[in-house]
Chain A
Amino acid sequence: MKKSLIVLTALLATAVTASAQKLVIKGSDTLGAKLVPMLSEEYKATHSGVSFEIAAEGSTTGIAAITDGTAEIGMSSRRARATEVSAAAAKGVAMKPIIVCYDGMAVIVNENNPVTTFTKRQIEQIFTGDVTDWSAVGGKAGTFSIYTRNTSSGTYSDWKDLAMKKRDYAPSSQKMAGNEQIAAEVGKNPNGIGYVGVAYIKSPGVKVIPIGGHLPTKDEVLSKKYPYARPNFYYTNGEPTGEAAKFIEFTLSDAGQKIVEKVGFIPVK
């Protein structure tokens, strides 16, 4: 009897330990496709026994996961909306934003496209459908093929806010699952145009177009001269604790920020 109790206690302890070491991270594709998986791999190398469950299905899902308590860290490429913060507060969740890196939403076109520059006004006209042909913005005649993120994406709503004066996307625009898909489509389509995070601008077949003379470089983004720059976030319920706090600390450490830079994002320091 005594032995059985000892074994049972040991099993329970093991199970509890194992579950405590699993970090659930949900949210943004911008962060979750490359950066966070790389950070987690590096983190695991020095924190044995820790496992990660990473789901990158859009910023909205990350913020919702914090509100619902289904993740320790919510990744988001946009700020939580007023309604999301208040909905969380109503459930006793104190939404805590932590800036983990910066991003510049880069405008990409096919590398064979002769266009070399855009103004902010032209970008608004293109993505809202005010103009439909490349000839209207100095390109060769041909109808725009506009590639955007899907509606659960933080990038999708940030782009509306920053580049389109909150207007609706052109009805002809095509929604893609992630940055990589947008870059791939633009790389194949001479009439393609889209926006991706800076981590994806080196995709084959695409080139980045400056906006009013500004490119999404580290200096331009940090100085906020690039018009489509934004911070990227981890969200937690209140001040982070436990393994989540350690992972966030690692993300913000020199080692973590080196990975941020390596992936293509702009570090916080």
Chain B
Amino acid sequence: MATNSLKWLALLGGVALGSATMAVAQDSGPLIDTLVKKGILTDQEGEDLRVELLKDFGTTSPGKLDVSSAVTRLRIAGDARVRYQYDNEESNPVGAANDRDRNRYRYRVRLGFTADLGPKWTTALRIESANGATSTNADLGSATDNFSKDTDFAYFGQAYINYRDSGFLGSDSVDLRLGKLPHKFFNPGVNGFWIDSDINFEGIAEEIVYSDVGIKGSTLSMRAGQFVLNNNAANSGSTSAATTVFAVNPTTGAITSTTTNSNPTVDPSMLLIGQVEYATKKFKVAPTIVAFAAPSDHDRSATTAALQASDTSVYTDLATVLVPFEYTMTLGAKPFAIYATYGFNIEGDDRARRLAGGVAPQPVDDDSEIYNAGVRYGENRLPGDYQLVAEYRHVGNGSYSSLLLDSDFNGGLLNGEGVILSGSYSLTSAITFTTTYFNSFNIEQTRAAGGASRGNGFGKAQVLQVDLSARF
């Protein structure tokens, strides 16, 4: 009896010292097996001890959580951010809408759940605090009553299924995502450049990766995305594009009419992205194409010719080739990166004219080029870490789509160029203080009258953001 008590005392003492009951309980399995094999414990004593160690598991935090047996690993993570933002924006042309000078106090919360369902399948969802495609910020003080919650909502920002494997076409890894998903396209720039960092695409994304191609440690990644812009669900109820056919009865001479929708089929509008990335430990280059494959009338709920024309101008003539590049080195024990992207819209002249004046060609100084260039020094990982970034951007009036651009620079619109300066400091490994300044100017100074505001940038825009962010 005394011997038994000593054995138990020794092992339970280990539990107490470990003070992490579940971890110790699970980790003790091999220890108990060894003690049994060596004859220090009998099999029955070993079993009693296992149960004793597990018994209190239910009183621990993980023991109170009941996770589906299908889940092999569950990760809960997110971030929260409070922001002061100052916007000073002048419209283009002067006097048009969007002249503003304002202070905003904002917050953002994102909470993600990722469940592994075995080694190859994962499903994930993320809850976000705003519904905008390019922003997850909610404004403080924006409600109709002080401190009310009527402008505070939670939305599903991501909801997708992910399949990972290897060996397909001799590859080292394959990643397939379906749903409302985070993308993997290489997109260097503050907040992302040609894809706003808040965008979660809707559709299918694929990635196939080969390792050690030419240089040891290198990767060749091929990525593609087929994203739905509009499923034309409004089409069935639309009468705006209806066609009426008149017929004369040859016997009676009576005239009858039949009205049909001229576009009864549902053609989803698509955004297509393809990218081939070659990366080593120091440099990365990724030729990319971004294109719309949209029916002529993208938004069937647009019920007037003017709205449809405006819509058409936004969703056609986009076939932009981009070449993002980044070179990283170490400078004074900190990472230092030079990055740049050059892009050209093959359909840029048509796009610029459409955006300036609708469907009919308009006189406009078309600019099909989009590019950025920046330097980044440092990183934010540990307390005391800092990062400094300086970047220049140019977004021509026919170069790209305002649906995808970083919304903080020039309002996320076309026809703008300028600089971004950003500095961040890590108070802890989870808390970061960041200040970012955006200053942009229009490139084409006066747009033709009637230009679609969705494409036209501000005359001038200055944005100052001061953020305190927490990662959890």
Contacts and interface: CB of A to CB of B under 8 A. Distances in A.
Contacts of A231: 43, 47
Interface string B23-59: 0011000000000010000011001101100111111
B170 interface: no
A86 B62 CA distance: 10
A80 B56 CA distance: 14
Contacts of B56: 86, 89
Contacts of A95: 51, 55
Contacts of B37: 224
B59 to A, nearest CB: 8
A233 B46 CA distance: 13
Interface stretch (A11-19, A96-104, A191-199): A96-104
Interface string B1-39: 000000000000000000000100110000000000100
A268 B46 CA distance: 14
B63 interface: yes
Interface string A71-98: 0000000011011011101100011111
Size class of A's contact patch? Answer: 20 to 34
Contacts, number: 52
A97 B55 contact: no
A75 B55 CA distance: 19
A53 B371 CA distance: 79
A82 B54 contact: yes
B332 interface: no
A82 B47 contact: no
Nearest to A89: B58
Nearest to A231: B43
A99 B44 contact: yes
Contacts of A80: 51, 54
Size class of B's contact patch? Answer: 10 to 19
B58 to A, nearest CB: 3
Contacts of A98: 44
B51 A96 contact: yes
A85 B44 contact: no
B43 A99 contact: yes
A80 B54 CA distance: 10
Given A82-B54, A82-B57, A89-B56, A97 B22 contact: no
Interface in A38-88: 79-80, 82-83, 85-87
Contacts of B54: 80, 82, 85-86
B450 interface: no
Interface string A216-227: 000000001000
Contacts of A94: 55
A168 B25 CA distance: 25
A99 B47 contact: yes
Interface in B190-204: none
Contacts of A96: 48, 51
B57 A97 contact: no
Nearest to A223: B37
Contacts of B59: 86, 89
A231 B48 CA distance: 13
Interface in B302-316: none
B118 interface: yes
A97 B58 contact: no
Given A87-B58, A89-B56, A82 B44 contact: no
Contacts of B118: 168
B23 to A, nearest CB: 11
Nearest to A85: B54
Given A99-B43, A99-B44, A224-B37, A86 B55 contact: yes
Nearest to B67: A83
Which one of B43, B66, B118 has the greatest number of beta carbons of chain A within 10 Å?
A: B43
Contacts of A87: 58
A163 to B, nearest CB: 17
Nearest to A224: B37
A234 to B, nearest CB: 11
Contact of A233 (B25, B47, B58, B66): B47
Contacts of A90: 58
A119 to B, nearest CB: 22
A204 B322 CA distance: 70
A85 B43 contact: no
A268 B55 CA distance: 25
B432 to A, nearest CB: 37
Contact of B57 (A79, A86, A224, A268): A86
B118 to A, nearest CB: 6
A97 B26 contact: no
B113 to A, nearest CB: 20
A231 B51 CA distance: 15
A82 B69 CA distance: 13
Given A86-B56, A86-B57, 15 more contacts: A79-B47, A82-B22, A82-B57, A83-B57, A85-B55, A85-B58, A86-B54, A86-B58, A89-B55, A89-B56, A97-B50, A99-B47, A168-B118, A231-B47, A233-B47
29 contacts: A79-B50, A80-B54, A82-B25, A82-B26, A82-B54, A82-B63, A83-B57, A85-B51, A85-B54, A86-B55, A86-B56, A86-B57, A86-B59, A86-B63, A87-B58, A89-B57, A94-B55, A95-B51, A96-B48, A97-B50, A97-B51, A98-B44, A99-B43, A99-B44, A99-B47, A168-B118, A231-B43, A231-B47, A268-B44
Interface of B: 22, 25-26, 37, 43-44, 47-48, 50-51, 54-59, 63, 66, 118
Interchain residue pairs A-B with the least CB separation, the first 3? A86-B58, A86-B57, A85-B54
Interface of A: 79-80, 82-83, 85-87, 89-90, 94-99, 168, 224, 231, 233, 268
